[in-house]
Amino acid sequence: MKLRFKPYMLKLRHVFTLANSSRSETPVVLIRIDSDGLSGYGEASLPPYLGATQESVMAFLSKVDLNRFSLDDSLTDILDYIAHIESGNTAAKAALDIALHDLYGKSQNQPLWKRWNLSPQETTPTSFTIGIDSAEGIRNKVREAADFKILKVKLGSDSDKMIIETIREISDVPLYVDANQGWSDPHFALDMLHWLAERNVVMAEQPMPVDRLDETAWLTSRSPIPVIADESFQRYDDFAKIKDAFSGVNIKLMKCTGLHEARRIISAAREADLKIMLGCMTETSCAIAAAVQIASLVDYVDLDGHLLITNDAFSGLRLSDGKVLPSDLPGLGVIPVNDIFND
Ligand code: MG
């Protein structure tokens, strides 16, 4: 197998404002793994708060020797080799996991969802994210999002109630909210969750800071709606730490090193009776298509990352009745728009 990689800069449709930051670009690294005339594609998405950079991802990928493997080796053995090269590097490992799943799916001439006996049509609609903005900006974004059945709203600033009331002037779709750790007082957070639940907010992501686990447990046990761990939950091994403090977990391929571990997390979360959200970073259709393969297994789908950019490097996903659906093509089912690896 031969590995290639290229840095690529995603241009965001709107400046993206969270509780603590704003940005208009997201750096990614796109990868391609070739074997037996087939190419598998993968992607590492690197929003700044995760700490990895294009340079750190490429430095890790330079240490990965796939020449020693062929399609006769098992995918699990290759992933095991990659996992043990160095700790951390979760987005770089996710890129490799995604590209290898694409490659093996193509070698078996089957979309991954079919290989895993899943039914993408049974997936719940994706939420579509509305960033923090002025009232007029929010009205415009909500109008632009008319194709979506669920909106996700970023909270955690002084204008939380204004944002929700502005949306409710023009839309009655269910809302997810994500405070991105923005509420530090649990009593304030509980009052907010009750106020939000009365306005058809059906789920809240990461209301309180990561280091406030006991207060989050207090909040979750009293909350009228499920409280989901995002920043507090990265990988499978985090379960023990957070399972009593939250109603569920937000799985992102870039946090958990890809599809192999994501599927293990889904099984464990079901066993622990936890809700499951499947989220993303701003990503091209490549990494989103990977998550879409398993989206029918989860309760909350938040896979809009490819819809928030203007220079998607892949095609193959479609939006139907508010659901992001994969194609019937083998592997991830995506096709590069330009072959950026040909130079
Ligand atoms: Mg979040």
pLDDT 10s digits, 283-299: 999 999 999 999 999 99
Whole-number Å distance, alpha carbon 202 to ligand 1 midpoint, is 15
What's the CA-to-centroid distance between 178 and ligand 1, angstroms? 6
Q: Are 156 and 334 in contact (CB under 8 A)?
A: no
The topology under which CATH files domain 114-336 is TIM Barrel (3.20.20)
102 Cα–ligand 1 center, Å: 26
Whether residue 75 is predicted with pLDDT greater than 80 in this model: the reply is: yes
State the distance from the centre of ligand 1 to the C-alpha of 58, rounded, in angstroms. Answer: 26
Q: Phi/psi at 124 (nearest 5 deg)?
A: -75, 155
Of the candidates 169, 132, 177, the residue with the CA atom closest to the CA atom of residue 151? 177
Cα 62 to ligand 1 centroid, rounded to whole Å: 30
Encode pLDDT of 248-286 as tens digits. Answer: 999 999 999 999 999 999 999 999 999 999 999 999 999
Separation of CA 98 and ligand 1 centre (Å): 21
User: Can you tell me the distance from the alpha carbon of 149 to that of 154, in angstroms, rounded to the nearest whole number?
Assistant: 17
273 CA → ligand 1 middle, Å: 21
Rounded Cα gap, residues 332 and 114, in angstroms: 11
Instruction: Kindly give the distance from the C-alpha atom of residue 332 to the centroid of ligand 1, in angstroms, as a whole number.
Output: 24
Q: What is the pLDDT of residue 233?
A: 97
CB 1 within 8 A of CB 70: yes
Tell me which fold the domain 2-110 belongs to: Enolase-like; domain 1 (3.30.390)
Residues carrying CATH 3.30.390.10, the chain: 2-110
Q: How far is the CA of 3 from the centre of ligand 1 (A)?
A: 31
pLDDT of residue 298: 98
Q: Where do the CATH 3.20.20.120 domains begin and end in the chain?
A: 114-336
Ligand 1 center–CA 149 separation, angstroms: 19
